[in-house]
């Protein structure tokens, strides 16, 4: 298997470090708009050797320029690519003979990368789906364009190509969806509600506000109208931060107030798993919510460029959200200042053998462990391990399919077993008792 990884930020770099310990692939091409960042990700996986240069950096729109770093015995190489340039990405996939494109960019670039993979005849994986657009008149009641709608609209073309687009294969969405399918297959006869619940007790020394994940993506999912699914109503929306509840997270994290936010699981799970209700709630905290509301009130969450004066007085067009991201610390660089654990999981309520049952399937990562073992902070590492596991399952044939699928469309047990084999076990809590992942 030859893989084109687009995006060498925190998650992309963690992906290379995890994949470097596995032998299911022949080569990873690590590509980023910033060639130096792609080279740094490659250099971090192992030995660094000069492979020469393929020539000077080419302009945006080319198939991409080659880097001079070759890592882990020649299994990784660096290239420059503009993720928004579909034709250039298609050309790079073809030139490098890549079997699959793994998208580790933010959701703005989903569609050009998704279409490039289809055009090149490659498989495709991402960790976040195509962007939503609120209903123009009733944004807090009805869905407009939903997360993933643009991708599912192309499902027939993907099926006809014989290729797989595996959408939402991070941790949330991703592992959380695998948990939902596992619960439906092995733990429940009927499911009343599936609720993804995410919480942490992470702290970052020296910062009053330092999100542990991309602020661009965080703003998008937290300030958009949250989507809820109910069998009788279908998909509908609510006010941001609605339906607060206190959820008790395992392994010492404890009670955290969680609220509704927009997330892919609510759009994916009901397509393949029968449940009366599906929700996603995130443990944000009052301070974090307050800062997000302030950004919104000031218009700093906007993505449309505004005109400001540049350094020489010349008008420059910039996106307010990009400015916010540039002013905040890089989440990937926070690991050394971060302490605590992060938990991703799926709470399921229903019946088994005629009796009520309620379980929480979860995955916890301690930042001290992920920094010591991989040099990656807990949140980006927890996101990164799941697409690597999925790639290995595709490489071995344990997972296969065509069209546009979510993780819950595929058998869950091979994934959960391999996740444990990677040294990152999952757990189940039932009636307040935690159990190991040997169910």
**Mean pLDDT across 408-415:** 98
pLDDT of res. 334: 75
CA angle 206, 249, 169 (to 5 degrees): 85
Q: How far is CA 274 from CA 109, 172, 199, 235, in A?
A: 31, 19, 25, 14
**Mean pLDDT across 229-240:** 96
User: Which tens digit of pLDDT belongs to each residue from 253-283?
Assistant: 999 999 999 999 999 999 999 999 999 999 9
- Contact between 10 and 332 under an 8 Å Cβ cutoff? The reply is yes
Neighbouring C-beta atoms of residue 21, cutoff 10 Å: 14
What is the overall mean pLDDT for the chain? 89
pLDDT of res. 55: 28
pLDDT of res. 231: 97
Examine the pLDDT at 67 and tell me if it is beyond 60.
Answer: no
User: Which tens digit of pLDDT belongs to each residue from 10-37?
Assistant: 999 999 999 999 999 999 999 999 999 9
User: Which tens digit of pLDDT belongs to each residue from 297-314?
Assistant: 888 888 888 998 888 888
Examine the pLDDT at 83 and tell me if it is beyond 60.
Answer: yes
Q: Which residue, among 373, 377, 435, 398, has the nearest Cα to 178 in the 3D structure?
A: 398
pLDDT of res. 295: 85
pLDDT of res. 225: 93
pLDDT of res. 54: 28
**Mean pLDDT across 221-247:** 93
Residue in the structure block whose two tokens are 């703005």: 108
Q: Give 17 or 328, the one with higher predicted confidence.
A: 17
pLDDT of res. 65: 52
């Amino acid at each position: 298997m030859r893989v084109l990884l687009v995006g060498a930020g925190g998650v992309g770099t963690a992906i290379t470090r995890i994949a470097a310990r596995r032998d299911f692939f022949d080569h990873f091409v690590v590509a980023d708009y910033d060639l130096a960042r792609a080279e740094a990700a490659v250099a971090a996986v192992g030995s660094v050797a000069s492979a020469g240069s393929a020539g000077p950096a080419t302009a945006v729109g080319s198939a991409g320029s080659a880097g001079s770093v070759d890592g882990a015995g020649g299994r990784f190489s660096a290239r420059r690519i503009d993720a928004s340039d579909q034709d250039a990405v298609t050309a790079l996939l073809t030139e490098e003979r890549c079997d699959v494109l793994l998208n580790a960019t933010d959701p703005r670039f989903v569609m050009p990368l998704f279409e490039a993979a289809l055009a090149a005849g490659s498989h495709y994986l991402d960790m976040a789906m195509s962007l939503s657009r609120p209903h123009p008149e009733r944004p807090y009641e009805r869905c407009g364009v939903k997360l993933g709608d643009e991708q599912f609209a192309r499902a027939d073309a993907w099926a006809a190509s014989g290729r797989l687009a595996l959408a939402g294969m991070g941790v949330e969405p991703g592992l959380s969806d695998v948990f939902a399918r596992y619960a439906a297959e092995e733990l429940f006869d009927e499911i009343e509600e599936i609720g993804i619940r995410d919480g942490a007790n992470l702290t970052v020394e020296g910062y009053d506000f330092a999100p542990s994940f991309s602020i661009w993506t965080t703003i998008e999912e937290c300030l958009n109208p949250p989507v809820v699914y109910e069998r009788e109503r279908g998909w509908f929306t609510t006010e941001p931060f609605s339906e607060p509840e206190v959820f008790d997270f395992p392994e010492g994290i404890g009670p955290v107030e969680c609220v509704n936010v927009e997330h892919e699981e609510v759009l994916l799970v009901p397509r393949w798993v029968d449940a009366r209700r599906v929700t996603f709630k995130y443990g944000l905290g009052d301070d974090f919510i307050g800062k997000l509301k302030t950004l919104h009130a000031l218009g700093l969450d906007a993505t449309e460029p505004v005109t400001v004066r540049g350094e020489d007085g010349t008008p420059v067009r910039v996106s307010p959200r990009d400015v916010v991201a540039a002013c905040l610390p890089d989440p990937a660089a926070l690991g050394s200042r971060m302490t605590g654990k992060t938990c991703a999981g799926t709470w399921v309520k229903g019946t088994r053998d005629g009796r009520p049952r309620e379980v929480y399937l979860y995955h916890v990562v301690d930042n001290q462990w992920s920094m010591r073992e991989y040099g990656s902070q807990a949140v980006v590492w927890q996101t990164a391990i799941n697409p690597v596991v999925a790639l290995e399952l595709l490489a071995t044939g344990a997972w296969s399919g065509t069209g546009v699928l979510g993780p819950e469309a595929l058998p869950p047990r091979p994934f959960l077993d391999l996740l444990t084999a990677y040294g990152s076990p999952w757990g189940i809590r039932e009636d307040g008792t935690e159990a190991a992942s040997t169910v």
